[in-house]
Structure 1
Amino acid sequence: MDSSNTDHAKTIPHEREWEFVNRKGRHSINVQLVVNADLIITNCVVKWPGSVHDARLLRESHIFRHLQQKPPDGIILGDSVYQLLPWLMTPFAMVNNDAEERFNCAHGRTRSTIECLNGVLKRRSACLNYLPVDPQRACNIILACIVLHYIAEERKVPHCDGRGDHSQPQADRPDLPLAALQPDGAAGRSMRDALMNHYFT
């Protein structure tokens, strides 16, 4: 799981302009994506201004309400801006032992798939790097690019750089961390500890 910002700086929004300014100081749309290991997007939310915190975007989404009521068979990985939940695993903020370090390393390697996806999306649809249109049109274009990517992956269309593998994730996040809006829950901590003890000790 990840949220990333797509710029549309040339056309400044006429209404509530400040809401679209992200932490890089640019006008953008914050897009939430859930992706599997094959770079197939399984869920997306494309409607929030760039200033909206990733954790709030998730909390307001349909997938959050659905998974709170009916947890998935597996788990979703998210970075440290999200709240730790039984179905949403985040890394340890402070590493106290080797098992936690191994957990964080495995978590990071696995979650790099979403960074790879961001790179693939922006290579396939270069317009996503810069959309000089109003917010609603930007959302429509972003969603269309996501649908086209889904079709391309289903049909095994090669990536634009000619690589068929996912071995070179493209970092898309700035080095500006977001704090989680809510503290981690006990159930989430218990699930993460159980996973760590079973697989990494």
Structure 2
Amino acid sequence: MAGVVHCHHHFARRGYRQRVYVERTKPLEQYTTEELYVRFCFGNAAIEYLVNLLRPNLQHRTQRSHGLSVEDQILIALRFYACGTFYQVVGDYMGVVKSAVCDVVRDVSIALASLTNEFVSFPKDNQIAQAKRSFFLLGNMPNTIGAIDCTHVHIQAPLKWPGSVHDARILRESALYRDLQTNQPDGIILGDSAYPLLPWLMTLFLTANTPAQARFNTAHCRARCAIERLNGVLKRRFACLNYLRAEPQKACNITLACIVLHNIATKRNVPLCADNDAPETLTNLLHSARTSKQDCSLTDEQIKLKPYE
């Protein structure tokens, strides 16, 4: 008995507290599909799809009484991606401790990032013609299969390459550059003046000296706006990309995870927000590209696209 009393006073002096398990929320039971879109960017059916997709990577080998299910892990990660707030805030909302949120975001991001090659790729042989048609409708640019641009994701200061890096250097350091230099694609990619002119990478005329060059720049800009708008859509859908309190490797996994999730959302027609906006795919950009002149600062006459040949 004395031993028990001694242990009690020992733990009391050390500030020992018995662990208290908070009742976790059950979002899929609490919210409608529209409310899930607002809070998690995905509805019931899409969340179920993600649970089945990631189950092999996230399923715990043991089922302890307070372990997180795959569904719980997906919802915690989606909440973080959607609002980009502190882990503690996400934990309080979901009924888990801060450390659990940190671990879950890490694990789910790695699992999603591992699927990048499955959900993110250049147009395959049977998709190239459709990509060229879509870009031609955007701006009368022929033989175009893609567009390239960079966006800044604010992260914790790394040990190397602090701050932003020039777009051209990012391209040169990428595996994409090495692959396209070796295996030139069946078509061209559009880039702004920050990029070098290459056999497969078409940039603007820095100074348009002829009407044909001006029309080329107009067409180029109208087609390339797809990538600029897509960068904006990613940050709108996943607010965490506006500022990541994470070291570089974790930030890369989170960014890849959001890109994979965006493509999944696009394929499954998941609305961008609760007002049922359509996902911003290339096809959905056609109308806005024709009617908005904000991206390129064009005059009304320049918007009347003409062949530049």
Please, what TM-score do these two structures have when normalized by structure 1?
Answer: 0.63
Aligned to 1:70: 183
3-state SS, counterpart of residue 76 of structure 1? strand
- For 2:234, the equivalent position in structure 1 comes to 121
Are 2:200 and 1:87 aligned? yes
Distance 2:157 2:204 in 1: 36
Matched, 1:12 2:154: no
1:33 is matched with: none
List per-residue Cα deviations over 1:137-182 (Å, max 9, x = no partner): 2111111111111111122222236333325579xx9xxxxxxxxx
Partner of 1:131: 244
Q: Describe the SS at the equivalent of 1:58.
A: helix
Kindly state the Cα deviation for residue 116 of structure 1 after the two structures are TM-superposed.
1.1
Pick one of 253, 265, 274 that aligns with 1:152: 265
Q: Secondary structure at the match of 2:152?
A: strand
Q: Please say if 1:163 is aligned against 2:277.
A: yes
Where does residue 3 of structure 1 map in the other structure?
150
Measured in 2, the distance between the counterparts of 1:108 and 1:74 equals 17
SS in structure 2 at match of 1:72: coil
Among 99, 103, 112, the residue aligned to 2:225: 112
Offset from partner CA, 1:53-94 (integer Å, 9 cap, x none) = 211221222222222222111110001111111211001011
Match of 2:308 in 1: 200
Identical pairs, percent: 55
Q: State the match for 1:96 in structure 2.
A: 209
SS in 1 for 2:153: strand
SS state at 2:150 partner: strand
SS at 1:20 equivalent: coil
How many residues in Structure 1 have an aligned counterpart in Structure 2? 140
Asked if structure 1 preserves the Cα contact closer than 8 Å seen for 2:157 and 2:163, the reply is no
Gaps of 5+ in 2: 1-147, 279-283, 296-306
Partner-residue secondary structure (3-state), 1:67: helix
CA distance in 1, matches of 2:223, 2:211: 18
Show the counterpart of 2:163.
21
Distance 1:162 1:106 in 2: 30
TM (norm. structure 2) is 0.42
Structure 1, unpaired ranges of 5+: 23-51, 174-198
- Aligned residues of 1:122 and 1:129 also touching (Cα < 8 A): yes
Which structure carries more strand by proportion? Answer: 1
Cα deviation code 1:21-70 (max 9, x no counterpart):
12xxxxxxxxxxxxxxxxxxxxxxxxxxxxx2211221222222222222
Kept in 2, the 8 Å contact 1:92–1:100? The answer is: yes
Please tell me the residue identity of whatever aligns with 1:96.
N
Deviates further, 60-69 or 120-129: 60-69
Structure 1 residues 168 and 134: alpha-carbon distance in aligned structure 2, compared to 1, 3 A threshold: farther
Larger RCO (alpha carbons 8 Å, 6+ apart): 1
Higher Cα Rg, which structure: 2
